[in-house]
Structure 1
Amino acid sequence: MKILGLIPARGGSKGIPGKNIKLLGGKPLLAYTVEAAKASTLLDRVILSSDDAKIIDVAKDLGLEVPFVRPAELAGDATSSLEVIRHALEELRSQGEEYDAVCLLQPTTPFRQEGLIDDVIRKFTEGNFDSLISVREVPAEFNPHWIFEEKEGKLQIATGEQKIITRRQELPKAYHRDGAVYITKTSVLLEQNSLYGGNIGFIDTTGSPYVNIDTREDWEEAERHLSRLLLKSVSLIIKKLQNLI
Structure 2
Amino acid sequence: MSRICTICARGGSKGVKNKNIRMLAGKPLIAHSIQQAKQSGLFDVIAVSSDSKDILAVAEQYGADVLVNRPYELATDQTAKLPVIQHCLTTVEEKLGRQFELIVDLDATSPLRLIEDIVQSVQLYEENIDADNLISGAPSRRSPYFNLVEVNSEGYARLSKRLDKIIVRRQDVPNCYDMNASIYIWKRAKLLNSKSVFQAKTLLYVMPEERSIDIDSEIDFEFVSFLAKKRGELS
TM over 0.5: yes
8 Å CA contact retained: 1:3, 1:45:
yes
Q: Residues 58-86 of structure 1, C-alpha deviation per residue, up to 9 Å, x if partnerless? A: 11111112343111111111111101011
8 Å CA contact retained: 2:33, 2:107:
yes
Distance 1:187 1:196 in 2: 15
| Structure number having the greater helix percentage | 1
8 Å CA contact retained: 2:46, 2:66:
no
8 Å CA contact retained: 1:188, 1:197:
no
Which residue of structure 1 lines up, in the alignment, with residue 40 of structure 2?
40
8 Å CA contact retained: 1:184, 1:195:
no
Which residue of structure 1 lines up, in the alignment, with residue 6 of structure 2?
6
Q: Does residue 1:93 correspond to 2:72, yes or no? A: no
Which residue of structure 2 lines up, in the alignment, with residue 188 of structure 1?
190
Structure 1 residues not aligned, in runs of 5+: 233-245
Structure 2 residues not aligned, in runs of 5+: none
Query: What is the correspondence of 1:99-114 to structure 2 with a 5 Å cutoff?
Result: 99-114=100-115
8 Å CA contact retained: 1:157, 1:164:
no
- Give the SS at the match of 1:116: helix
Q: Does residue 1:206 correspond to 2:208, yes or no? A: yes
- Give the SS at the match of 2:46: strand
8 Å CA contact retained: 2:6, 2:89:
no
Distance 1:4 1:55, change over 3 A: same
Superposed CA RMSD? 1.9
TM-score, structure 1 length as denominator?
Answer: 0.86
* Percent of pairs with identical residues: 32
Q: Does residue 1:55 correspond to 2:55, yes or no? A: yes
- Letter in structure 1 aligned against 2:111: P
How far off its partner does 1:5 sit?
0.4
The structure 2 residue matched to 1:169, chosen from 168, 171, 178, is 171
- Give the SS at the match of 2:151: strand
Distance 1:68 1:227, change over 3 A: closer
How far off its partner does 1:208 sit?
4.6
TM-score, structure 2 length as denominator?
Answer: 0.90
How far off its partner does 1:162 sit?
5.5
How far off its partner does 1:97 sit?
2.3
Which of the two has higher C-alpha Rg?
A: 1
